[in-house]
Amino acid sequence: MNDEHSVAFVQNQVDQNMSVGRAIKSIVRHYPQEAASIVSTALDMYPLQYKEIIHAAISAQPTLTQEVVTIALSKGITSCSSIVETAINAEPSYADFVVTAAANSTPSELDEIVRIAVITEPDSADYIVQSLAKEHPSKLVEILTSAIGAVPLVGEYVVEALLAAFPNDAEQVVTTAVRESSAQREQVIKIIETAQNSGVNQEELEKYATNGGATAEELAQVLDKTN
């Protein structure tokens, strides 16, 4: 479908459905192979209604999530964080696909992508952080710092996910997580427990956690239970 036909088609569907969102949902369901070009055309025609368009396209066809996010970001019609938030709200279970697409399109906004994604869907924080760290391993500390800074309570889950994916980076993961959780001492204890349960040996765990600011008492609270 060329651009001219796309514009006429979208216009016709919007007139019939009385709303951009309903029109996009209908088109994506009936013509999935045309979905990407239709979303692109709709965003050009109705840039102020980007939230409605993104939400409709993703909720109608979640497998298009990455493509829709990439197209929306390429238009420059709004902030990256707003697109990330809208896309995750449309299909929370695809949050990791949203952040991966966003970080690939706008790597300079990685911190903000992590922050807004974890705040929008804290239950998926482990998948969000793990997916991004796999795509951008050199930014592991930055990603972990942003996630815990946004929602401190996700610390233990994020640590577990990262240690599963990056067992050789236990020092970076544990030290960073403990340091970034310094205002939440109960979280520090949970992070130490999680690292221990993930197979970090006691001597290394003591060193990594201490370097992050854990106290001898906090370490004893966890490690003495197992001795």
Structural domain count, the chain: 1
Which pLDDT belongs to residue 116? 98
**Within a domain: 80:** no
| Cα 154 to the center of its chain, rounded Å | 13
**Within a domain: 79:** no
**Within a domain: 128:** no
- Is a pLDDT exceeding 70 seen at residue 46? yes
**Within a domain: 182:** no
Q: How confident is the model at residue 1 (pLDDT cuts 50, 70, 90)?
A: low
Which pLDDT belongs to residue 8? 75
Instruction: Print the domain residue range for 54.
Output: 1-61
Q: What is the mean pLDDT of residues 128-132?
A: 97
**Within a domain: 202:** no
**Can you tell me the distance from the alpha carbon of 170 to that of 163, in angstroms, rounded to the nearest whole number?**
6
**Within a domain: 99:** no
Residues in Cβ contact with 151 at an 8 Å cutoff, skipping those fewer than 6 apart? 118, 119, 122, 125
Predicted structure pTM score:
0.89
**Within a domain: 20:** yes
Q: How confident is the model at residue 59 (pLDDT cuts 50, 70, 90)?
A: very high
**Within a domain: 40:** yes
- Is a pLDDT exceeding 60 seen at residue 179? yes
